[in-house]
């Protein structure tokens, strides 16, 4: 199949979160299955063109703007650095910035990107069988193809797949942006849209041939008011086209046997070498080098979704248990400030690094005993998969992809510590189970080896996407 994969970020070129890892791993796995997959994303100023051998594609691409017939010339660059042809749309006004997201005109920026994606296909005379968009940033593609695209013989045969990576981010804007995107016909308001507004996540859900989320459990959860973020009526209406496919993990990119960021490389048969990584992680975070003290780690965004309120709420009880905690991440200023107080409140036990540091995170995965991921909700999550691969046992809330990937040690095939409901009491009970197991080194090693043996590679997920694409094609062209 020919598949165009449209996304706002993709590793290794530009990464804000797990979306970028998916945009790296899935296309590569699909290409390994023999499909002609190509990735397209904005060319942000921060992308190092020489590092990835970005080359200009001539001639420049004219992108239509608004309803007046005006066009804007943009540059297209292409890279084969990942083994997958990856195209970049460069337009200085919209993408010549220091950050990927967080600007007031984000909706306009990504509508422009979508218009460029649509123009790009015709420009290089390549019509994919499937256009696969991700999150609200690509929602305009599905609305345009369902309206203006239906009258165009070039675009009409293209089947569409829309992947929701997180229901919390919806891209709600005023409906004046419809005209900016070149849609002149009347667009019926969806029942989940406020009057005078467009919800771009909802538009992807409403107009794609097939919709999926990034874990089977999350696909069920978002049909409920607790996890649907107001879009559950629309999702329920499209439930027959809604699927859940677990994200994968690139086994080559995350391998403790060869990871250069580790102080000591290891595998399931040489777990004793992890002790060197633990010492290196303790040293890097300024914690006492104490092998007998369990080291807990939290790596990721400091936002409400990630359950950090539970950590703040239970802090005194948590540290009274004599553990060490290393935190690495950035997020909302109020959470950053609250965690920044921990080292002085709990000297010798807590260390907090407000930063995004890929190498340090790898060292922490390879040295921590327990990986904390008490998310309030979690579409899939990659941290718990990486942690297991590196022998750090995950402690997670039983939601979404966390529940799909981690089994509690109370079960025969347990790989971590799972708690529910989402309360401080349940969380601390899971911490106590972890500490009890830690006091039995032989039993701990058994669980570590079982966790490291889990297969989270992209191969199985890629075959599930193959099936999804075939369904989309069949439904689009019955």
Q: Is 208 found in the same domain as 116?
A: yes
Q: Kindly calculate the radius of gyration of the chain based on its CA atoms and give it in whole angstroms.
A: 23
Q: What's residue 252's pLDDT?
A: 86
Q: What's residue 365's pLDDT?
A: 98
Q: What is the pLDDT of residues 262-277, one digit of tens each?
A: 999 999 999 999 999 9
Q: What's residue 444's pLDDT?
A: 97
- Looking up tokens 């677990």, which residue turns up? 246
Q: Is 282 found in the same domain as 192?
A: no
Angle 228-234-236 (CA atoms, 0-180°, nearest 5)?
75
- Judge whether residue 184 has pLDDT over 90: no
- pLDDT-based confidence at 15, cuts 50/70/90? very high
Q: What is the pLDDT of residues 338-364, one digit of tens each?
A: 999 999 999 999 999 999 899 999 999
- pLDDT-based confidence at 75, cuts 50/70/90? very high
Contacts of residue 366, defined as CB under 8 A and 6 or more positions apart, other chains included, come to: 256, 259, 261, 262, 263, 266, 274, 277, 281, 390, 391, 392
Q: What is the pLDDT of residues 282-298, one digit of tens each?
A: 999 999 999 999 999 99
Q: Is 228 found in the same domain as 103?
A: yes
- Give the relative orientation of helices 106-123 and 139-146 as an angle to the nearest 10 degrees: 60
- Judge whether residue 26 has pLDDT over 90: yes
Residue 261 lies in a domain: no
Residue 398 lies in a domain: yes
Q: Are 205 and 162 in contact (CB under 8 A)?
A: yes
Q: Is 469 found in the same domain as 436?
A: no
- Judge whether residue 49 has pLDDT over 90: yes
- Judge whether residue 424 has pLDDT over 90: yes
Return the closest-CA partner of residue 143 out of 207, 80, 215. 207
- pLDDT-based confidence at 186, cuts 50/70/90? confident
- pLDDT-based confidence at 251, cuts 50/70/90? confident
Residue 64 lies in a domain: yes
- Give the relative orientation of helices 358-367 and 274-284 as an angle to the nearest 10 degrees: 130
pLDDT, average across residues 72-84: 96
Rounded Cα distance, 214 and 379, in Å? 6
Q: Is 470 found in the same domain as 432?
A: no
Q: Is 174 found in the same domain as 294?
A: no
- pLDDT-based confidence at 215, cuts 50/70/90? very high
Q: Is 387 found in the same domain as 336?
A: yes
Q: Is 323 found in the same domain as 222?
A: no
pLDDT, average across residues 55-84: 93
Residue 294 lies in a domain: yes
pLDDT, average across residues 195-223: 97
CATH of residue 403: 3.40.50.2000
- pLDDT-based confidence at 414, cuts 50/70/90? very high
Q: What's residue 477's pLDDT?
A: 87
- Judge whether residue 390 has pLDDT over 90: yes
Q: In 134-176, which ranges are continuous DSSP H helix? A: 139-146
Residue 464 lies in a domain: yes
Q: What's residue 33's pLDDT?
A: 97
- Judge whether residue 194 has pLDDT over 90: yes
pLDDT, average across residues 175-204: 93
Average pLDDT of every residue of the chain: 96
Please count the structural domains in the chain. Answer: 2
Q: What is the pLDDT of residues 114-162, one digit of tens each?
A: 999 999 999 999 999 999 999 999 999 999 999 989 999 999 999 999 9
Residue 265 lies in a domain: no
Q: Is 467 found in the same domain as 381?
A: no
Q: What's residue 103's pLDDT?
A: 96
Residue 254 lies in a domain: no
Residue 258 lies in a domain: no
Q: Is 469 found in the same domain as 438?
A: no
Q: Is 289 found in the same domain as 206?
A: no
**Structural domain span for residue 35:** 2-248+458-476
Q: What is the pLDDT of residues 229-248, one digit of tens each?
A: 999 999 999 999 999 999 99
Rounded Cα distance, 456 and 147, in Å? 39
Q: Is 447 found in the same domain as 407?
A: yes
- Judge whether residue 18 has pLDDT over 90: no
Termini Cα distance of the chain: 17
Angle 221-225-228 (CA atoms, 0-180°, nearest 5)?
60
pLDDT, average across residues 382-404: 97
Between 356 and 54, residue with greater pLDDT: 54
The torsion angles phi and psi of 151, rounded to 5 degrees, stand at -90, 5
Q: What's residue 20's pLDDT?
A: 94
């Amino acid at each position: 199949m020919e598949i165009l994969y449209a996304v706002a970020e993709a590793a290794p070129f530009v990464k804000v979160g797990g979306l970028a890892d998916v945009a790296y791993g899935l296309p590569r796995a699909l290409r390994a299955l023999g499909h002609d997959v190509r990735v397209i994303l904005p060319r942000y100023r921060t992308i190092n063109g020489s590092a990835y051998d970005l080359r200009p594609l001539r001639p420049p691409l004219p992108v239509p703007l608004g309803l007046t017939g005006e066009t804007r010339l943009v540059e297209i660059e292409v890279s084969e650095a990942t083994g997958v042809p990856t195209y970049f749309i460069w337009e200085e006004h919209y993408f010549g910035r220091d950050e990927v997201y967080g600007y007031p005109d984000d909706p306009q920026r990504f509508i422009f990107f979508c218009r460029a994606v649509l123009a790009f296909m015709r420009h290089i005379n390549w019509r994919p069988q499937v256009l696969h968009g991700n999150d609200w940033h690509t929602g305009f593609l599905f609305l345009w193809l369902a309206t203006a695209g239906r009258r165009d013989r070039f675009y009409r045969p293209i089947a569409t797949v829309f992947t929701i990576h997180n229901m919390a981010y919806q891209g709600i804007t005023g409906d004046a942006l419809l005209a900016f995107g070149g849609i002149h016909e009347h667009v019926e308001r969806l029942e989940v849209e406020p009057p005078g507004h467009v919800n771009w996540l909802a538009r992807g859900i409403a107009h794609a041939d097939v919709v999926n989320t990034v874990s089977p459990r999350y696909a069920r959860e978002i049909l409920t008011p607790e996890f649907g973020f107001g879009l559950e009526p629309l999702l329920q209406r499209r439930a027959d086209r809604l699927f859940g496919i677990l994200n994968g993990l690139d086994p080559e990119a995350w391998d403790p046997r060869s990871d250069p960021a580790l102080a000591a490389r290891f595998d399931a048969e040489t777990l004793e070498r992890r002790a060197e990584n633990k010492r290196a992680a303790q040293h890097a975070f300024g914690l006492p080098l104490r092998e007998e003290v369990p080291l807990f780690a939290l790596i990721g965004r400091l936002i409400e979704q990630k359950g950090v309120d539970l950590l703040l709420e239970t802090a005194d009880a948590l540290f009274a248990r004599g553990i060490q905690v290393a935190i690495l991440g950035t997020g909302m200023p109020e959470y950053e400030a609250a965690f920044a107080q921990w080292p002085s409140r709990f000297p010798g036990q807590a260390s907090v690094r407000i930063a995004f540091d890929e190498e340090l995170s790898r060292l922490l995965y390879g040295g921590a005993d327990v990986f904390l991921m008490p998310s309030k909700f979690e579409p899939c999550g990659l941290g718990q998969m990486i942690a297991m691969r590196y022998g750090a046992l995950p402690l997670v809330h039983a939601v979404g992809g966390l529940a799909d990937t981690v089994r509690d040690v109370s079960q025969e095939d347990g790989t971590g510590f799972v708690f529910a409901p989402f309360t401080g009491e349940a969380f601390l009970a899971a911490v106590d189970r972890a500490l009890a197991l830690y006091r039995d080194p032989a039993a701990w090693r058994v669980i570590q080896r079982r966790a490291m043996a889990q297969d989270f590679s992209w191969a199985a997920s890629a075959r599930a996407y193959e099936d999804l694409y075939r369904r989309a094609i069949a439904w689009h062209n019955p």
